[in-house]
Amino acid sequence: MKQKRWEYGQVFVRRPEIFGGLPKTGLNLEKINRAGDEGWELVNTIPFTVANGEVTGAFFIFKRETLEGQKDLGESCGP
């Protein structure tokens, strides 16, 4: 029986309105959408907060199961 293997990646998005930040131009979700198209599953989001409490960005953490013969994480074009 083969053991499942996972690879992980992250994308940083500036000024995420969903965390109460103050976006000037809205969210740029191009990288997030591309990750979904490539089979990455969103695991968590972590807000990035500056000293005054303003949320200036967020890390989106992804994972996907590695398939036999698939490129290693270092060779992947994932998030």
* pTM summary value: 0.65
Token pair recorded at residue 4: 């499942």
The model's confidence at residue 75, banded by pLDDT at 50, 70 and 90, is very low
- Give pLDDT tens digits for 45-59: 898 888 998 878 889
Asked if 79 and 7 count as a contact pair (C-beta separation under 8 A), the reply is no
Residue 77 has pLDDT above 60, yes or no: no
Could you tell me which of 78, 53, 45 has the C-alpha nearest to residue 64? 78
Residues forming beta bridges with residue 41, ordered by sequence position: 63
**Model confidence over 11-55: pLDDT tens digits?**
888 865 555 555 555 566 788 888 889 999 999 989 888 899 887
